[in-house]
Structure 1
Amino acid sequence: MKQYSIFEIADWFLSKASMTPKKLEKLTYYAEAWSNALYEKSLINDAEFEAWAHGPVAPDLYHQYKSYGWNMIPKKHEDKIFDSQVLDLLESVWVTYGDKSANELEALTHSEVPWKKARKGLPEGASSQEKISKKDMKEYYRSIYNGD
Structure 2
Amino acid sequence: MTTYSAKQIADFFLSKGSVSPKKLQKLVYYAYSWAMALLTESENDEPVRIFEEPIEAWVHGPVVATLYDEYRSYGYRDIEKKENISFDFGEDLADVLEQVWSIYGGFSGNQLENLTHSEDPWIEARKGLGPLDSSQNQIKDTTILNFYGSKVS
TM-score, normalization by structure 2:
0.92
Residue in structure 1 matching 2:63, options 46, 50, 57: 57
Matched, 1:67 2:73: yes
Cα offset, 1:142, TM superposition: 1.2
In 1, the alpha carbon distance for the partners of 2:152 and 2:93 equals 17
Superposition map of 1:1-148 within 5 A: 1-40=1-40, 41-45=48-52, 47-77=53-83, 78-145=85-152
Q: Which segments of 5 or more consecutive residues in structure 1 lack a partner in the other structure? A: none
In 1, the alpha carbon distance for the partners of 2:18 and 2:3 equals 24
Amino acid at match of 1:17: G
In 2, the alpha carbon distance for the partners of 1:17 and 1:72 equals 10
In 2, the alpha carbon distance for the partners of 1:125 and 1:67 equals 22
Amino acid at match of 2:94: L
Amino acid at match of 2:14: L
Partner SS, residue 136 of structure 2: coil
Aligned-pair RMSD on alpha carbons? 1.0
Cα offset, 1:80, TM superposition: 2.5
TM-score, normalization by structure 1:
0.95
Cα offset, 1:99, TM superposition: 0.4
Q: Which segments of 5 or more consecutive residues in structure 2 lack a partner in the other structure? A: 41-47
Identity of aligned residues (%): 48
Count of residues in Structure 1 that have an aligned counterpart in Structure 2:
145
